[in-house]
Amino acid sequence: MEIERFVWTEHAEDRLRQRRLDAADVEQTIKERNSEREVNDGRAEWLVGGETPGGVAFEAIYDHPHGDDGGAVRIVSVWRLDS
Q: pTM score, two decimals?
A: 0.94
Statement: residue 47 has pLDDT above 80: yes
**What is the Cα–Cα distance from 51 to 25, expressed in whole angstroms?**
8
Share of the chain above pLDDT 70, in %: 99
Looking at 1-83, which runs of residues are DSSP E strands? 5-8, 38-39, 46-51, 57-63, 72-80
Share of the chain above pLDDT 90, in %: 95
- CATH of 5-80, picked from 3.40.50, 1.10.3470, 3.10.20, 3.30.2310, is 3.30.2310
Q: What is the pLDDT of residue 76?
A: 98
**What is the Cα–Cα distance from 12 to 35, expressed in whole angstroms?**
22
